[in-house]
């Protein structure tokens, strides 16, 4: 039984240096979340299909990975459904669980399930993998990591602002000055949709609008015109979209174009825009009337972060307010808001721009050359002692040619090599060679550990 070693398409192995660099980004994000008082939770990778489905829209549901029931349960496969081409029922008959698709729906499930142990407002963050059965392509994976912060149980506008602060703080620490937060509001979109004459198929409207970045403004406009048959209003909408309005123009458009807006909404937007315009610590913020975000659960402000200089890279993060998500788990009156950082895309951008700190390194500090077990035994306790002092000590396991052991030290960038062989043993000292300078220094066995104090 032999086979070619391959990880599945759309997944990745992370080697030690890549993993350390991912950890650097994760540390920046999680320490920022912590500095705003968010606490971390984890939920299972596996959720019931009941929990996952009908939360992400039809397109989303198609990308959920289903897990086959195990053992005897497989015998319950509904072949009739299969023969009737009713594949959903067929799948339901052999699968009760699926892989986590995002971190927001599991959060809503968590909050509803544990509501009696939680004091609201609940600020939580979560950094875990999610899985999507999307066709793998460059920069798009079937397993990837999301880093989410959410607040459940308050509709305060301060939180809409805090999301901007979180994004700004993280991207500044990562020295990514080139990012922009695009903002829009679902209620604004709803009012636009009504004005254009959309009746029930709001999601269809949003989904079309959301494709501007992919298919271009021209095509999107044509699609909308053919679907909703109101060229005048659609032209007006695209005038402002193409103009890339500044904050003031965005507000003005809402006031003039929308008869149907709610004055509370406008007040909120005005206050919000005032707040961000006054604050000098924030990164670029654009209001973008074409931003819709695919996920069904958003009801208020929505965010998306992208790279100004390269929109093709896709979104580096996104989020928004969702008022009713916990209701699908029987918990009412619990407005939530949150944002996500897409670790994998952020990684690629930082990597391309060579912005990783130079001091990210492996655990290759001290290599102990192997002159035979008897010599190793003799200094085992000393090695243990310097490990206790925080040093990383790799004993070369085999007594092979010295030249080979030294090239191992070189190839793996060990900082020091520890030499204790026959002559050192006779004279009771340990020799340390600094691999960068080539300098060697001898230490009496008794004093050796002092070097590392």
Q: How far is the CB of 95 from its own copies (least distance, A)?
A: 6
Q: How far is the CB of 124 from its own copies (least distance, A)?
A: 7
How far is Cα 192 from Cα 212, in angstroms, rounded to an integer?
16
Which of these, 192, 204, 148, 82, lies nearest to 337 by C-alpha position? 148
The residues in 224-243 that bind its own copies, with binding defined as CB under 8 A, are none
Nearer to its own copies, 132 or 195 (CB): 132
CA dihedral 440, 444, 447, 449 (to 10 degrees): 50
Number of other residues whose CB lies within 10 A of the CB of residue 267: 11
Number of other residues whose CB lies within 10 A of the CB of residue 295: 22
Q: Does 158 bind its own copies (CB under 8 A)?
A: yes
Could you tell me which stretch among 231-239, 287-295, 368-376, 441-449 binds its own copies (CB under 8 A)?
368-376
Task: Please give the angle made by the CA atoms of 128, 295 and 12, to the nearest 5 degrees.
Answer: 35
How far is Cα 343 from Cα 145, in angstroms, rounded to an integer?
6
> Total binding residues for its own copies by CB under 8 A?
117
The residues in 340-359 that bind its own copies, with binding defined as CB under 8 A, are none
Out of 398, 401, 426, 453, point to the residue binding its own copies (CB under 8 A).
398
Q: Does 159 bind its own copies (CB under 8 A)?
A: yes
Out of 20, 92, 242, 284, point to the residue binding its own copies (CB under 8 A).
20
Q: Does 175 bind its own copies (CB under 8 A)?
A: no
Q: Does 194 bind its own copies (CB under 8 A)?
A: no
| Residue 217 half-sphere exposure toward CB, CA atoms < 13 A | 14
Q: How far is the CB of 357 from its own copies (least distance, A)?
A: 18
Distances (CA, A) of 357 to 22, 25, 68, 329, 361: 12, 10, 43, 43, 10
Q: How far is the CB of 241 from its own copies (least distance, A)?
A: 31
Which of these, 296, 298, 294, 329, lies nearest to 51 by C-alpha position? 329
How far is Cα 312 from Cα 213, in angstroms, rounded to an integer?
8
Distances (CA, A) of 220 to 201, 211, 254, 298: 16, 7, 21, 22
Nearer to its own copies, 64 or 224 (CB): 64
From residue 295 to residue 324, the character string flagging contacts with its own copies as x (rule: CB under 8 A) and all else as - is: ------------------------------
User: 388: exposed, middle or buried (C-beta count within 10 Å: 0-12, 13-18, 19+)?
Assistant: exposed
User: 87: exposed, middle or buried (C-beta count within 10 Å: 0-12, 13-18, 19+)?
Assistant: exposed
Q: How far is the CB of 143 from its own copies (least distance, A)?
A: 5
Could you tell me which stretch among 152-160, 181-189, 199-207, 435-443 binds its own copies (CB under 8 A)?
152-160
Out of 21, 24, 140, 143, point to the residue binding its own copies (CB under 8 A).
143
The residues in 62-121 that bind its own copies, with binding defined as CB under 8 A, are 62-63, 65-68, 70-71, 74-75, 77, 79, 82, 87, 90-91, 94-97, 99, 108-110, 112-114, 117, 119, 121
């Amino acid at each position: 039984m032999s086979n070619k070693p391959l990880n599945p398409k759309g997944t990745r192995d992370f080697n030690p240096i890549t993993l350390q660099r991912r950890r650097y980004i994760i540390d920046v994000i999680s320490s920022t979340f912590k500095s705003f008082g968010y606490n971390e939770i984890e939920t299972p990778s596996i959720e019931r299909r009941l929990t996952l489905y009908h939360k992400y829209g039809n397109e989303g549901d198609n990308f959920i990975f289903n897990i086959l029931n195990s053992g005897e349960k497989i015998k319950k496969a509904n072949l009739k459904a299969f023969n009737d081409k009713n594949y959903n029922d067929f799948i339901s008959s052999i699968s009760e669980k699926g892989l986590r698709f995002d971190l927001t729906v599991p959060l809503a499930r968590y909050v509803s399930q544990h509501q009696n142990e939680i004091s609201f407002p609940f600020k939580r963050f979560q950094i875990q993998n999610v899985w999507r059965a999307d066709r793998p392509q460059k920069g798009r994976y079937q397993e990837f990591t999301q880093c989410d912060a959410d607040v459940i149980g308050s509709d305060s506008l301060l939180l809409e602002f805090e999301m901007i602060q979180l994004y700004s703080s993280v991207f500044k620490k990562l020295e990514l000055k080139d990012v922009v937060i695009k903002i829009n509001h679902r209620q604004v979109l709803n009012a636009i949709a009504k004005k254009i004459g959309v009746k029930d198929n709001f999601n269809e409207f949003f989904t079309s609008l959301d494709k501007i970045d992919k298919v271009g403004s021209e095509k999107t406009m044509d699609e909308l015109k053919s679907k909703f048959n109101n060229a005048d209003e659609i032209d007006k909408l695209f005038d402002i979209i193409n103009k890339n309005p500044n904050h003031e123009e965005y507000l003005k458009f809402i006031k003039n174009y929308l008869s149907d807006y709610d004055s509370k909404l406008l007040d909120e937007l005005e206050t919000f825009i005032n707040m961000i315009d006054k604050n000098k610590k924030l990164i670029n913020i654009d209001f973008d009337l074409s931003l819709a975000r695919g996920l069904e659960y958003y009801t208020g402000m929505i965010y998306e972060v992208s790279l100004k200089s390269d929109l093709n890279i896709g979104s580096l993060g996104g989020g928004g307010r969702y008022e009713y998500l916990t209701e699908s788990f029987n918990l009412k009156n619990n407005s939530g808001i949150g944002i996500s950082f897409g670790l994998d895309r952020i990684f690629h951008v930082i990597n391309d721009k060579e912005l990783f700190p130079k001091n990210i390194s492996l655990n290759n500090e001290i290599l102990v050359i192997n002159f035979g077990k008897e010599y190793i035994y003799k200094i085992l306790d000393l090695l243990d002692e310097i490990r206790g002092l925080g040093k990383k000590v790799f004993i070369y396991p085999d007594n092979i040619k010295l030249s080979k052991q030294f090239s191992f030290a070189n190839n793996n960038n060990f900082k020091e090599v520890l030499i204790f062989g026959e002559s050192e043993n006779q004279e009771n000292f340990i020799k340390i060679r600094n691999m960068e300078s080539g300098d060697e220094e001898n230490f009496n066995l008794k004093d050796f550990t002092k070097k590392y104090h």
